[in-house]
C-alpha cells in the first residue's frame, strides 16, 4: 500500500478496506527485532504478563 506499492482505487470504499487491512497487518502481523520477533500485539500482551 505504501513505499512504492501505491495504486489507484476505484472508490472510497476500496480505499477504506485497504486502509483497514493495512492497520490490521501493522498491529497484528508485522514482526520486528525490537519486539523480540513477535507482532506488536503479542509483545504488549507478553510484557503485561511479566509486569
pLDDT tier for residue 4 given thresholds of 50, 70 and 90: low
CA separation for the pair 25, 27 (Å, rounded)? 6
Does residue 41 surpass a pLDDT of 90? no
Domain ranges of the chain: 12-50
Q: How far apart are CA 29 and CA 44, in angstroms?
A: 13
User: Which three cell numbers mark 31?
Assistant: 514482526
Of 2, 30, 31, 28, the closest CA to residue 15 belongs to: 2
pLDDT of residue 3: 57
pLDDT for 6-36, tens place per residue? 678 888 998 899 889 989 998 888 888 888 8
Separation of alpha carbons 33 and 20, rounded Å: 24
50: pLDDT strictly greater than 80: no
Q: What's the pTM?
A: 0.64
Amino acid at each position: 500500500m505504501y513505499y512504492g506499492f501505491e495504486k489507484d482505487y476505484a472508490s472510497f470504499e476500496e480505499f477504506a478496506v485497504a486502509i483497514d487491512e493495512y492497520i490490521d497487518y501493522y498491529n497484528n502481523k508485522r514482526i520486528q527485532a525490537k519486539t523480540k520477533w513477535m507482532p506488536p500485539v503479542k509483545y504488549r500482551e507478553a510484557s503485561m504478563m511479566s509486569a
